[in-house]
Amino acid sequence: MSGKLTVVGFGPGSKDDMTFRAAKAIEEAEIIVGYKTYTDIVAEFFPGKDYRSTGMMGEVERCQIALDLAKDGRNVVMVCSGDSGIYGMAGIVYELAYHNGSDVEISSVPGITAASSAAALLGAPLMHDTALISLSDWLTPIDLIMKRIDRAADSDMVIALYNPKSAHRPDYLKQAFEIISKYRGKGTPVGIVREIGRADQQVTMTTVGEIDFGKVDMLSTVIVGNSQTKIENGRMITPRGYKLE
């Protein structure tokens, strides 16, 4: 009889930011599969479980391993950071299971995504319409990514940038800001939040005109305000539009 596979988003990385449902799924799992960085974090909070970390191998192989274990009747959890369905593993798990004609029972447990946890540290920058955009060109052509940046900036959406930088594409962030600068003033607030929920957490507030790209790495989420976003008393706030007397 087939077992089940639950894709669990465990939030930004601290136990307090994990949902009860995520914790329950991990506690009940017989086997926990995931990229090593993630299984290491989860193992800190739930020691002594059967972790199968898959190192740098591709996502598809990792999903296949999890599906095979579940097919053998095991209760398997696949962990990913943040939300399971936002640049997470839920999509490929469903796609691959369908592709294989698998009868494994699959479900997805949502988690706090990086944009939300970054926003809470900055203040309240996502109070109005927001575009989540990943700068990773691994599975998406860079022209399409930059087109989306352009459209989001043109339509005055707050923009939350995921995967903002990596060694092989250090200039995409600068390119994205050149596009954003066509539509947003130099003084538009920008928040950079690194390693949320972990020991090295860093929160930086800057502006479109003054951002130091060197402060941003792959462990950061960058939030660019809309035309109304302001910094007040050290908090980045996007007004919803309430009238204050």
Residues that bind ligand SAH (CB under 6 A): 12-13, 80-83, 86-88, 113-114, 162-164, 193-197, 218-221
Of 122 and 179, which has the nearer Cβ to ligand SAH? Answer: 122
Nearest residue (CB) to ligand SAH, 3 versus 91: 91
Residue closer to ligand SAH, measured from CB, 174 or 227: 174
Nearer to ligand SAH, 146 or 193 (CB): 193
Structure token pair of residue 18: 């994990």
CB of 7 to ligand SAH, least distance (A): 10
**Crossing angle (nearest 10°) for helices 172-183 and 142-154:** 30
Check: CB of residue 108 under 8 Å from CB of residue 84: yes
* Residue 31 C-beta: closest distance to ligand SAH, Å: 21
| Nearest distance in Å: CB 205, ligand SAH | 15
Which of 214, 166, 191, 202 lies closest to 12 in space, CA to CA?
202
Interatomic CA distance for residues 109 and 9, integer angstroms: 6
Least distance (Å) between residue 136 CB and ligand SAH: 8
Count of positions (residues) in the chain: 245
Rounded to a whole number of angstroms, the minimum distance from the CB of residue 127 to ligand SAH is: 19
Q: Which residue is nearest to ligand SAH (CB)?
A: 82
- Nearer to ligand SAH by Cβ, of 51 and 162: the residue is 162
Task: Identify which of residues 82 and 189 has a Cβ nearer to ligand SAH in the complex.
Answer: 82
Handedness of CA 180, 185, 187, 188 (dihedral sign): negative
Minimum separation from the CB atom of position 126 to ligand SAH (A): 13
